[in-house]
Structure formats: structure tokens, C-alpha cells
Amino acid sequence: MTIYVGNLSFDAEVEDLQHLFAEYGAVSKCTLPLDRETGRKRGFAFVDMASADDEARAIADLQNVEWMGRSIRVNKAEPRGSAGGGGGGGGGGGRRW
């Protein structure tokens, strides 16, 4: 049960996200991917919740909420490659966990 959190402040840390999502239940994992070339945060994260009910409540409550000065996007994460419907390779990107 993984949640994609987009449009994050670059000041956000793993601990900040864990604290935010812990209000909805147990957080089993939280990652803030870094850019391979620069080592800087990429502006999104993945949060794993222990239960589907907790995940659903977090998504419903936090979607488009202003947090750390940014209006965050909160969605159920989709496996890499399933979002966007095909079309050539190259370019990278996509959602990973």
C-alpha cells in the first residue's frame, strides 16, 4: 500500500513525512528519491502505510492540502510504467518504489 506524494517542498525530510502520515496510521516505509546526477531531492516521495483503510483516509484528507508552503498531490502509487499508457522508451522518469 504505497502512496505517491508530489509537489513537495524541497525542504521536506523523511521525518516530516513520517510525522504527517502517522496521523492516519502506521507508516512502514518512507522514501524521498534523489536525482542521480545532482543528489538533490526530486520533489516527490513514496509513503507505505500498514493498512489500506489508513492509506485511503490519508489520500482523501491530504490531497491538494498546503503543506510546507506547497499544495501537495497525494495519490495511490502506480507500478512503474503503468501510468501514461505506453509509447516508446527513453527519457526515464515515471514513478518508482
- Going from the C-alpha of 28 to that of each of 4, 5, 15, 39, 84, the distances in angstroms are 14, 15, 12, 24, 28
pLDDT tens-place string over residues 30-74? 999 999 999 999 999 999 999 999 999 999 999 999 999 999 999
Give the C-alpha separation, 59 to 82, whole Å: 20
Query: Higher-confidence residue: 86 or 72?
Result: 72
Query: Higher-confidence residue: 13 or 83?
Result: 13
CB 5 within 8 A of CB 72: yes
- Going from the C-alpha of 52 to that of each of 39, 56, 57, 61, the distances in angstroms are 32, 6, 9, 14
pLDDT tens-place string over residues 7-35? 999 999 999 999 999 999 999 999 999 99
**Domains, the chain, ordered by start:** 2-76 (3.30.70.330)
Q: What does pTM read for this prediction?
A: 0.80
Q: Where in 1-97 does DSSP place strands (E)? A: 2-6, 27-31, 45-49, 66-67, 70-71, 73-76
What is the pLDDT at residue 80? 78
